[in-house]
Amino acid sequence: MTTVAELLTTALADHGVRQVWGVVGDALNPVTDAIRREDRLEWVGVRHEEAGAFAAGAQAQLTGRLGVCMGTVGPGSIHLLNGLYDAKKSHAPVLAICGQVPRPDIGTDFFQEVDNEVLFADVSVFSATLTDPSQLPHLIEQAGNAALQQRGVAVLTIPGDVGGLDVPDGVAVPSFVTEQPLSTPSDAALQEALRAVESGEKVTMLVGQGARESREDVLALADRLAAPMVLTLKAKEGLERDNPFEVGQSGLLGNPAATLAFETCDVLLMLGTDFPYREFYPSGKTVVQVDVDGSHLGRRHPIDVGVVGDAGVVVRHLLAQTRPRTERGPLEHARLAYEEWHKLQQHFVDPDYEKKPAGFLRRKVDNPERKIRPELLAGLVDRHAAPDAIFTTDTGMATTWLSRFVRFEGTRRLLGSFNLGSMANAMPQAIGAQALDRRRQVVAFCGDGGLTMLLGDLLTIAAHDLPVKLVVFDNGRLGMVKLEMEQVGLAEFGTVLHNPDLAELAESVGITGIRVENGHDLDDAVRRAMAHEGPVLLDVVTNPDEIAIPSKPTLEQGWGFAIAKTKEFVTSPE
């Protein structure tokens, strides 16, 4: 006979799931025992279920298969929520297996009982409670297929007295449908998009994650249209490599070349992106937006033409039908501006920058304690990391430095909490990525606030000997919050972090720790960290007052900084 738990674990292993993440306990004991006896599955016991959900979401994004996490009755399931919300907003197919009190106790306000249907109503595309073996295999298949086809979170709740029940003879092992056919727009929509693109001489392309799989066609279209290409952060992976049309990012992560490309175009062609920051879109342009999800069309910025369908299908149609643009001045102008900006940024990737005139003057203003500039750290990681490294990045300033200084050449991959914007995502996402392939380099850009929020899962890294490289921007601050306060004229308050020596802390749990406080020691430290065979925590003491200027700074932001610094000086206890 086969039990409910055994049938579930067999289905997951057949699908290609490699790890299941969570914390063991009561209602799910039959499931973890079935995992123990399934050679194709590895149980990874994390110290916090949130970390397990982030790890599962990372695996789902990297593989396209189900990522699986578990939380037992009540608090264990509740702890999954933040990581599951990240999976939801990242469109990652994740199956959360949650415990429940025994069936006779449901609805009695039993110890630890929560209503999972209510708890997960907003985060899930599917949620159901398995109460009888006769519901198999279809309930498991519904959960898995909902997550895979709708690219979201499915929740399967198993009461404590159900997982060990026998399944009737002859019940098939559940299976999941992974194929997703391309969504083809209507001919009318394609022709309308073509007319809009043809209506202007100067086209700029804003390209997002949804167009990454059509890289060669996207580059060919940019060449045909002589169009500068602004990339979203999630499009760096796949589209930044060997791209002679790229002008970097827009928004808070961006640069003046992206703004120039937006402001000087006649037509803005948005491909597979839902770029959220309204204030960075140009006005007075003909706007064409292509997205596989029709609900995304026009919700960030007014559009003239919306096309529902796969970006690659639309790109190939335009490539075959548009006339080539012979005037390449706008493209060359934007590219020159981007190259000049990038060259200026590289001044920071020099440990002697502050000894030179411009750097010396800047140090007097924003780095009087001569701490390491975060740009230097990010640039050196870019230099020494593997060409196929998987990068994860915490929300906040760590993402800014990665965006500007890490190039996604080769087959590098990128994960972050780019839609939810959670703290503490980089380390657990790196754990999930590294568990898929212990031979591939995984580098996490960690803020000190993010790392210490889920610090307990350093123990997961050590216990499973996962060779992740944790690069910590240790500025003793919640850096992005500090920046947000100062740009609106508020004095920094509540952002200071009193950190221990994080390298020593890592050493105490069995992870190699390297601490750097002098910029001239950093190149060797980064090289050693990237070359080390096991896990490493590189703790770099960086300048807390570093400012990343957005692509289109405003007078109000500059005035806000001036007021904030005055307030901080006046109220400083020193």
Q: Domains in the chain, start-ordered, CATH in brackets?
A: 2-167 (3.40.50.970), 187-340 (3.40.50.1220), 349-571 (3.40.50.970)
pLDDT, residue 265, reads 97
Write down the pTM of the prediction: 0.94
**pLDDT confidence of residue 485:** 87
pLDDT band per the 50, 70, 90 thresholds, residue 182: confident
pLDDT over threshold 80, residue 258: yes
- Decide if pLDDT at 309 tops 60: yes
pLDDT band at 370; cut points 50, 70, 90: confident
Confidence bin at 180 (pLDDT 50/70/90): confident
Question: How far apart are the C-alpha atoms of 549 and 160, rounded to whole Å?
Answer: 54
Residue 234's Cα: distance from chain center in Å?
A: 8
pLDDT at 75 over 80: yes
Given this model, what pLDDT does residue 556 score?
A: 55
Q: What is the mean pLDDT of residues 123-128?
A: 98
Residue 548, pLDDT > 80, answer no
pLDDT class for 566, splitting at 50, 70, 90? Answer: low
- The pLDDT confidence band at residue 563, using thresholds 50, 70 and 90, is low
Is residue 558 over pLDDT 70?
no
Mean pLDDT (the chain, rounded): 93
More confident position, 567 or 265: 265
Least confident of 145-159, 185-199, 237-251, 361-375: 361-375
Q: Which helix (H) or strand (E) holds 31?
A: helix 29-36
Describe the crossing of helices 138-150 and 4-15 by its angle, rounded to 10 degrees: 30
What is residue 552's predicted lDDT score, i.e. its pLDDT?
Answer: 62
Percentages (nearest 5) of helix, strand, coil residues in the chain: 45, 15, 35
**Res. 460 pLDDT band, cuts 50 70 90:** very high
Q: What is the mean pLDDT of the segment spanning 368-386?
A: 95
- 483: pLDDT confidence band, cut at 50, 70 and 90? confident
**d(Cα 318, Cα 26) in Å, to the nearest integer?**
57
Cβ-contact 469, 541 below 8 angstroms: no
Q: At residue 416, does pLDDT exceed 50?
A: yes
Partners of residue 124 on adjacent β-strands:
153
Give the pLDDT mean for 28-52.
Answer: 98
With left for phi above 0 and alpha for psi between -120 and 50, is residue 507 left, alpha or beta? alpha
pLDDT of residue 482: 86
